[in-house]
Amino acid sequence: MEYWNLFLGFFRIGILGYGGGPTMIPLVHAEAVQKYNWMTDEEFTDVLAMGNALPGPIATKMAGYIGYKVKGTIGAFIAILAMVIPVLAAMILLLGLIYKLKDSGIVGGMTHGVQPVIGVMMAVMAYEFFLKSWKSWVKSRTIGWTVVSLIALVLLNLNPGLLIGIALAYAFIESTYLLKKRKKKQAGSDRGISA
């Protein structure tokens, strides 16, 4: 049953994800987190960050990871295949038609009409992530990373992948430090109990 759910979930994403990877991210979130509970919001955020840091299309990387997490190698294969089938079929069937109608005002209007919807979907998801980090993380860090991200992306025109790499490196260093600190504290309390 889980294989079928993987196929259906990612097939729906492949059908509805007009415009490529960034448009599919909210759809992947809806399927993986909200509908099937394959992962938590925090796990999804981590997968999204890792997917953005690695080369290649984000949607297939996320499909592969989630499929592997749910049902191993076969699950990854099914999720990627389900994501790619609708896109491949649409490209084959509609490429000639779109090429013939490329100068049509209707096709241009449809394309321009979808762009604001994609922007709103991405803004809503970013807002939800911000609220979750605000509730679960130190508020000063959330504000700090938001300000640093805005400055890096808007003013300095830094590549988003580089910014994500910096954030991942910071998170790795901080979590390693906190883990060592916790182990050291645990070892000290264990010695105090045995004495």
Q: 75: exposed, middle or buried (C-beta count within 10 Å: 0-12, 13-18, 19+)?
A: buried
| Predicted local distance difference test score (pLDDT) of residue 146 | 81
Instruction: For residue 68, give Cα distances in angstroms to 113, 141, 159.
Output: 35, 32, 29
Q: What is the pLDDT of residues 160-179, one digit of tens each?
A: 888 888 888 888 898 888 88
Residue 138 has pLDDT above 70, yes or no: no
Residue 195 has pLDDT above 60, yes or no: no
Neighbouring C-beta atoms of residue 167, cutoff 10 Å:
16
d(CA 119, CA 97): 27
Q: Say what the pTM is.
A: 0.55
